[in-house]
């Protein structure tokens, strides 16, 4: 909707365009508010971005006082081979071939894995089972309370060098101080 207003001369004209959402006689402030209500989500995003930029600038833009500044790191005085090796590793990976299956590889691996899985591993498993079944003392080290294991343990601890190995307090310089520390820690941790 256009309206022309004349200021006394026919050569000078002013054009006023009103919004279709606003009534014909609406003030410019009401028109601006109607437009802002439609675009409030965009303005909210812009306002949040502006606030975050201001906060980031406040934290990164200022230098701390000399007393609060962290001490600078000491320069490295010597060559460190671990650092040099970690820097060279990406270069070494460029030398490797692509990971892909090739025609000759399957035959080579089959020549190793088929006999291993069909002959060697079953033969070893059957041999271990046969020894376990046929002998009472087979694998006694792994069976708790086995008479032969108990006899060997008794012989071991009869030696003066191994006499106190089962005692958890063996080797402590000050046993009373250790127990006092345990009691204090228990009193602090007690529920």
The number of helices, as runs of H, and strands, as runs of E, in the chain is 7, 2
Please report which confidence band the pLDDT of residue 9 belongs to, taking 50, 70 and 90 as the band edges. Answer: very low
For residue 184, what pLDDT is reported? 93
For residue 27, what pLDDT is reported? 66
Please report which confidence band the pLDDT of residue 82 belongs to, taking 50, 70 and 90 as the band edges. Answer: confident
CA of 155: how far to CAs of 136, 138, 162, 163, 170, in Å? 20, 20, 10, 10, 19
| pTM across the whole model | 0.32
pLDDT in tens, 10-54: 444 444 444 444 455 556 666 656 665 666 667 777 888 888 888
164/170 Cα distance (integer angstroms): 6
34/37 Cα distance (integer angstroms): 5
For residue 45, what pLDDT is reported? 77
DSSP 16-45: EE--SSS-TT--HHHHHHHHHHHTHHHHHH
CA angle 149, 151, 157 (to 5 degrees): 100
For residue 72, what pLDDT is reported? 67
133/174 Cα distance (integer angstroms): 50
pLDDT at 186 over 90: yes
User: Which range, 7-21, 97-111, 171-185, is most confident?
Assistant: 171-185
By the 8 A CB rule, do 55 and 43 touch?
A: no
pLDDT at 166 over 70: yes
Please, which residues have CB within 8 angstroms of residue 7's CB and are 6 or more apart in sequence?
14
Average pLDDT, the chain: 76
Of 30-34, 103-107, 108-112, 166-170, the poorest mean pLDDT is in: 30-34
145/165 Cα distance (integer angstroms): 19
Between 95 and 86, the higher pLDDT residue: 86
Query: What is the rounded average pLDDT of the residues 133-145?
Result: 88
DSSP 146-172: -HHHHHHHHHHHHSGGGTTTT-TTTT-
Torsion of CA 66, 71, 76, 80, to 10 degrees: -150
Between 82 and 152, the higher pLDDT residue: 152
Please report which confidence band the pLDDT of residue 120 belongs to, taking 50, 70 and 90 as the band edges. Answer: very high
């Amino acid at each position: 909707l256009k309206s022309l207003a004349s200021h006394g001369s026919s050569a000078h004209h002013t054009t006023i365009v009103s919004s279709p959402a606003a009534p014909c006689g609406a003030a410019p402030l009401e028109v601006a508010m109607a437009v802002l209500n439609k675009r409030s989500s965009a303005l909210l995003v812009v306002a949040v971005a502006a606030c975050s930029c201001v906060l980031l600038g406040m934290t990164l833009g200022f230098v701390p006082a000399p007393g609060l500044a962290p001490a600078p790191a000491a320069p490295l005085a010597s060559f460190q081979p671990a650092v040099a090796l970690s820097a060279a590793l990406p270069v070494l990976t460029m030398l490797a071939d692509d990971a892909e299956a090739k025609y000759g590889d399957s035959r080579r691996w089959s020549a190793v894995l088929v006999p291993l899985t069909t002959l060697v591993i079953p033969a070893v498993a059957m041999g271990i089972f046969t020894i376990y079944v046929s002998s009472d003392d087979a694998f006694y080290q792994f069976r708790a309370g086995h008479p032969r294991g108990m006899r060997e343990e008794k012989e071991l601890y009869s030696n003066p060098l191994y006499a106190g190995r089962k005692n958890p307090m063996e080797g402590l310089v000050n046993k009373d101080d250790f127990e006092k520390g345990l009691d204090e820690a228990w009193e602090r941790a007690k529920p």
